[in-house]
Each structure stands twice: as C-alpha cells, then as structure tokens.
Amino acid sequence: MNHIQKLLTLIGLSLIVTAGLSACHRPMEPGKVIIVRHAEKGPGGGNVNLRTDGLTRASDLADLLADDALTAVYATNYCRTAHTGQPTAVAHDLPLQIRMEFPGGGLGGCVPPITAPQELLTPAQSTTAMFAERLAATESGATVLVVGHSNTVPDVIEELVGESICPDIIPGPASNCLIPENEFNHLFEVTIPANGDDPSVTHTTYGAPSP
C-alpha cells in the first residue's frame, strides 16, 4: 500500500470514528404525552355520546397526530372519551387502552359504536398516581395520547409535572382545577425528558374554536 492509499484509509477510519462518536453524543428525543379533554358531548349527564361537532373534532385530533410515533391511546370507560380517541387509535393501528374510572361506565352502548380493539386497565392501574407513573415511563421519541375529562385532565397533568395548570393556563383555583364545561379544544403536551429531568407541560388548542 503506497502513502496515498494509507492516508486515504486513515481519513476514512477517522470519519467513521467521528460519526460514531457524534451518534453516541446526540441527545435522545424526549417522550411526549398529549393530553386532551373529550370533544363536544351531547346533552344530559352520565355516559353520553359525542355530538356531530365532537366527532369532527376527534377526526381533527387524528389528523393533527398523523405523523407522530404514537405507541398508546388512552381513554376512559365513558363513550365520549373513547369516541374522541378512536380515530387516532385506528389511524395508528393501536387498541384503545381504557381507564376504568367510572363504576357506571361502559362502551357497549356507544353511538356510533366503538369498533377499535380495547385493552382494559385494572382499577389499580387506573388511579391517578399509577396512571401518571405509567405515562412518565413513555419511551424516548414516542408519543402517547390521553383523553380525559374536565376534572381528570388537570389531575393527571399535576401528578406528572408536580404543579397545577390552574390558574396559569386554566382560570380557577389550583385546589379545584377544572376545564370550563364549554371548552373542548385544549391540548396539553407533557414532555418526558430522556435524561431523567422533570417533565414539563405546554398548552395549545386544536380544531375549531371552543366555545
């Protein structure tokens, strides 16, 4: 091997080593937890379905998350949260993972029907503390979607980040933080750093203005 060939070989090896070191030191992407309240619901109390505009908002959410690397979609055992999460779950070929939050809940009578596969969390896994622990383990670069209720969304976020979203993001006292009854377009993104730093939350809106 002549001197030029040796030099080219050394340069090539140097580039390979440099590229390898660069890959080793590249920061890992954080995990993301997208948390929304269910979309617009029908009148009345209990286990009601979404209105037509709520079903549209659910489709808007699926479009918004189309390019994310989703690994899980969570809803509760109420039709309105399952309806909201179903288009996203179907688009990513994921089951709906159901938090068993309400004794009177159930998805058998939802209209339109819930057709996505379902995986039920145990009552213990459905508690705010254990559910937040599950979300905090979201892998680097992965995204999970959580669909909750006006009262449970703030609770889960507070458990994840250690502080209330009231009154800085949502008006109201931190001791009783609730998303206003007529607001359905809030979207919260909790970032789970891969290096073990504390999670943080940012807020935006999606879909049609609400109210």
Per-residue model confidence as pLDDT tens digits over 112-136: 999 999 999 999 999 999 999 999 9
The model's confidence at residue 179, banded by pLDDT at 50, 70 and 90, is very high
pLDDT at 10 over 90: no
With H, G, I as helix, E, B as strand and everything else as coil, classify residue 74.
strand
Closest by alpha carbon to 34, among 9, 1, 67, 77?
67
Q: Give the pLDDT score at 101.
A: 86
Residues 27-56 pLDDT 10s: 588 999 999 999 999 998 899 999 999 999
Distance CA 208, CA 91 (A): 21
Q: Which residue has the higher pLDDT, 82 or 46?
A: 82
Residue 161 · residue 105 · CB < 8 Å: no
Residue 122 · residue 56 · CB < 8 Å: no
> Mean pLDDT, to the nearest integer, of 81-91?
98
Helical H segments across 65-151, by residue range: 79-91, 123-126, 128-136
pLDDT at 21 over 70: no
pTM value is: 0.87
Q: Give the pLDDT score at 27.
A: 59
CA dist list (Å): 118 to 44, 74, 88: 26, 10, 13
**Mean pLDDT of the chain, nearest integer:** 90
Question: What stretch of H or E contains 52?
Answer: helix 52-64
pLDDT at 25 over 60: no
pLDDT at 11 over 60: no
Distance CA 124, CA 177 (A): 23
Distance CA 7, CA 126 (A): 62
Q: Give the pLDDT score at 2.
A: 60
With H, G, I as helix, E, B as strand and everything else as coil, classify residue 89.
helix
Distance CA 101, CA 99 (A): 6
Q: Give the pLDDT score at 15.
A: 45
Residue 38 · residue 50 · CB < 8 Å: yes
> Mean pLDDT, to the nearest integer, of 77-97?
98
* Look-up of token digits 């596969």: 117
The model's confidence at residue 18, banded by pLDDT at 50, 70 and 90, is very low
pLDDT at 14 over 70: no
Residue 145 · residue 72 · CB < 8 Å: yes
